[in-house]
Structure 1
Amino acid sequence: MRILIVPDSFKGSLTAVAASETMAGAVLAEMPDAEVFRIPLADGGEGTVDALVAARGGRTVPIEVTGPLGERVQTYYGVIGETTAVVEAANLCGLTMVPPERRNPLHTTSRALGEAILAALDQSSSRIIVGLGGSAVNDGGIGMLSALGAVFLDGAGHKLSGYGRDLPELDRIDLSGLDSRLKRCEITVACDVRNPLVGEEGATFVYGPQKGASAEMCRTLDAAMAAYAAKLEACFADMGMGAAAGGAPLRDAPGAGAAGGLGFALLSLGAKLVPGAQLIEEQTGLRAAARAADWVLTGEGRSDGQTLYGKLPLHVARLAREEGTRAVLISGSLGPGSERLLSEFAGCFSIVEQPSSLQDCMEQAESLLYRCTRSVARLIAQAAGR
């Protein structure tokens, strides 16, 4: 029997890679002769590098970058194939890298993402995949662009360092020093956010508060972001980059507001934004693997009615059904609306065995996931007459 294991991460407790290893061990404990295949999943957020490296047999490259608060941090990016690099905002300028009491989008920068892209270019990467989920920044990408050679100046001609607080001070942009290799590099962005850059549905008003922005700060940053966007688009237009002549402004494009405006900055560089699930499917051969499997086991930290709105397990279930394969959902917990998932999955299971605190469940996630998956595997084996 062929079992395909394709979990998302169990946020705060297990990475997708760790979850897939645990689930595989549980299946083999019940069906030692089964063929088990693992494809850890990610949607552009935390774990994107690890998931693609694991699925494609790639490698990670350690780097030191400027963290979201300006400190030097040790992190890594991935390399898959000969010339494709994978970077993610979550481990470069991620929200989890900033202590809750220090979260303030005026004082964070996306510079690390630019530094990681430079490191990949230095290693002759001709394609870069960028995961944008889970960032701590709201700087419109000026930190990233600064690292890539752009210069941002205030009214007195002083160079700005690339933090959110610099947006209201911005007067002039000089892109003449932008790394020329970017024009020859294909950039693909995994992004499930559809927000424009500015306005009530934009980056600042929708996501700024979770990054520490007050209501007044949101108003100031959104106005400054709009002025910055106009300047940056004009500069890129002069270089023959960005929106096509006569096209809609990139600031209004779906996804421009991703990661505090990094989506807009990357679009300006000529990047293509694609749904995270689509990118994972293309990069990992998920469809072919589902076609060859007898059962697909997927999961996530919490499943509820929101899972029906495009989360990765739903994508897996529908893809599996298209290929004539049954999918089972194993989640950390099942919340309100989860009964609606039964129309998509052959079965939905929670790993929680008894009333427990969230902290206890997260600490015991590995053993709970193992036991639940083993029970599911036993059921599958008995149904197959083994």
Structure 2
Amino acid sequence: MAGKKFVFASDSFKGTLSSQDTARLLSEAASEHFPGCECVSVPMADGGEGTTAAVVSACGGELRRVYVHDPLGRAIQAELGLLPDGRAIVETAAASGLPLLDAGERDPRRTSTYGTGELIRVALDAGAREVSVALGGSATNDGGMGAMRALGARFLDAGGDEFEGTGADLARVCKIDLSGLDDRLAQTTFVAMCDVDNPLLGEMGATMVFGPQKGADVAACAELEAGMRNYARVLADALGFDTTTPGAGAAGGLGAACQAFLGARMKSGVEQVMALVGLREALAGASVCVTGEGHADAQTARGKVVSGVAAACADAGVPCVAIVGGMDAGAATLRGVTAMVPTQIDAMPLDEILSRAEELYALAARRVFSLLAVRI
């Protein structure tokens, strides 16, 4: 059945299958039932872990590994993506992520986003003039001070002495000196990839919502929130930034810094990935698109790959099938999803599902294309 075009746009199945793995298995199943069909692979991610690799795989370019500083200031290697046409992508998690710290090291009063700023600086050195910054997964609550310090901003106390820019420094900042800010920032377009709309302060802000998962106890959260209120006043006075802006609280306030210092536009992670990899263009003329992720639940509708791809398919008039590792009832009504197919069989133990991930996915892919062979 030559002439059929299938687009494969899945997220990775964390710890088991990459986007490239799922595309390979889908291509094999499609070719079995539709000999001579066209299979287009568009690796996807939602702005979290694995986003850089997925975008570079789809767009070409280079994964560059460089030395930067981790959340506690130790030298580590981290990757960024250098894309064609002067674009780059940086993951906050790569340099400032929570998994970089042991459980006993997690304390957002001590951590900094300095390494993320270093990655942005490397992108500028490489000639990037459009930089997408994925804000998920940070170990920090520094208001983005660390990252901005790496780009030339200085955060000063009442006596003019400079801070390192950790969470503990928020309460003591009195002035921001922008005289040394990298001149190239003004000639660069920034997009902050973010799937939360939390403001900087308050019960739904950076500290109170995300601080506990980064290691802050009740006392530490109170200290950090008081510090963030001081920082918010200084930020408003120096740059006129409204800290109630949705997304300002992302990545411990790095969302605020990206907007205030870099002029970044806030954009859904999956929407920006779709734009970078050209998913909407790839859907032109497609018979079916197959997407998927490791587990679909009520959160899938809130900026995850399946919901983003399905919505794009609905706009393009392309049927969308989602193959998922598992699913809850809350995932059954996503706009644009024609069918959702779990890979697990009955109530399989998790360790068996993980160990047989490729086999189970291949079986699900064959089921999908055997049904499609009857319907299209």
Aligned with residue 270 of structure 2, among 272, 277, 280: 277
Counterpart CA distance in 1 for 2:137 and 2:304 is 15
Aligned with residue 115 of structure 1, among 110, 118, 143: 118
1:309-320 maps to which residues of 2 (within 5 A)? 309-320=302-313
Q: What letter matches 1:371 in structure 2?
A: L
Offset at 1:28?
Answer: 3.6
- The answer to whether the 8 A contact 2:157-2:173 is kept is yes
Counterpart CA distance in 2 for 1:113 and 1:193 is 19
Aligned with residue 37 of structure 1, among 35, 40, 43: 40
Offset at 1:93?
Answer: 1.2
Aligned with residue 135 of structure 2, among 120, 132, 135: 132
Partner of 1:239: none
Partner of 1:9: 12
Partner of 2:338: 346
Partner of 1:87: 90
> Are 2:247 and 1:255 aligned?
yes
Classify the secondary structure of the residue corresponding to 2:201: coil
Partner of 1:376: 368
Classify the secondary structure of the residue corresponding to 1:24: helix
CA RMSD of aligned residues (A): 2.1
- The answer to whether the 8 A contact 1:89-1:132 is kept is yes
Q: What letter matches 2:86 in structure 1?
A: T
Q: What letter matches 1:267 in structure 2?
A: Q
Alpha-carbon displacement from aligned partner over 1:279-304 (angstroms, at most 9, x marks no partner)? 22322221222232101100011112
Offset at 1:217?
Answer: 1.3
- The answer to whether the 8 A contact 1:188-1:271 is kept is yes
Classify the secondary structure of the residue corresponding to 1:266: helix
Alpha-carbon displacement from aligned partner over 1:174-225 (angstroms, at most 9, x marks no partner)? 2221111111111111112111111111111111111111122112111211
Offset at 1:84?
Answer: 0.8
**Mind listing any 5+ residue stretches in structure 2 that lack a counterpart?**
none
Offset at 1:157?
Answer: 4.7
Distance 1:336 1:99, change over 3 A: farther
Counterpart CA distance in 2 for 1:291 and 1:111 is 42
Counterpart CA distance in 2 for 1:220 and 1:119 is 33
Partner of 1:294: 287
Counterpart CA distance in 1 for 2:210 and 2:67 is 27
Shifted more, 150-159 versus 198-207: the winner is 150-159
Q: What letter matches 1:291 in structure 2?
A: A
- The answer to whether the 8 A contact 2:269-2:303 is kept is no
Aligned sequence identity (%): 39
1:152-163 maps to which residues of 2 (within 5 A)? 152-155=155-158, 157-163=160-166
- The answer to whether the 8 A contact 2:290-2:320 is kept is yes
Instruction: Give TM-score scaled by structure 1 length.
Output: 0.90
Classify the secondary structure of the residue corresponding to 1:79: strand
Counterpart CA distance in 1 for 2:283 and 2:81 is 25
Offset at 1:256?
Answer: 0.6
Classify the secondary structure of the residue corresponding to 2:10: coil
1:35-74 maps to which residues of 2 (within 5 A)? 35-74=38-77
Instruction: Give TM-score scaled by structure 2 length.
Output: 0.92
Distance 1:308 1:117, change over 3 A: closer
Classify the secondary structure of the residue corresponding to 2:132: strand
